[in-house]
Structure 1
């Protein structure tokens, strides 16, 4: 099959047939996880790289942050409301 025929078939077929749908509830917001020492850290929701700690009482709302992973570089949103109990 030639490249031009492959491109034409891709254009006709739905691209979503070949891609995994997003997970339920995925909204591009950072994951905030607690480590063994009890510290909370912000993780990229796509590549899961650990970025920065969240101190107790910190209030971050709708903060856009770009992932520092050289292969990711995606922008995600950091919200800490309800995370600091």
Structure 2
């Protein structure tokens, strides 16, 4: 936030808007990816999806376990 305020102090909003629109407009000007690169990106995306599908049950089990331990400790402290 501090850096944004410094930029706002030195650059007016209109200039900043023109630069942002130009930067976003240049994104569409890039050429299409080669077939090999597109295939590699699709394989990486599939691999990431598979890894996330495998990790979510572990994350869920750990979260439930930690919450269970915390509740057990709270109950044990109240009982003693």
**TM bucket normalised to smaller:** under 0.3
Q: Which structure dedicates a bigger proportion of its chain to strand?
A: 1
Higher Cα Rg, which structure: 2
Q: Which structure dedicates a bigger proportion of its chain to helix?
A: 2
Higher relative contact order (CA 8 A, sep 6+): 1
TM-score for both structures, normalised by structure 1: 0.23
TM-score for both structures, normalised by structure 2: 0.24
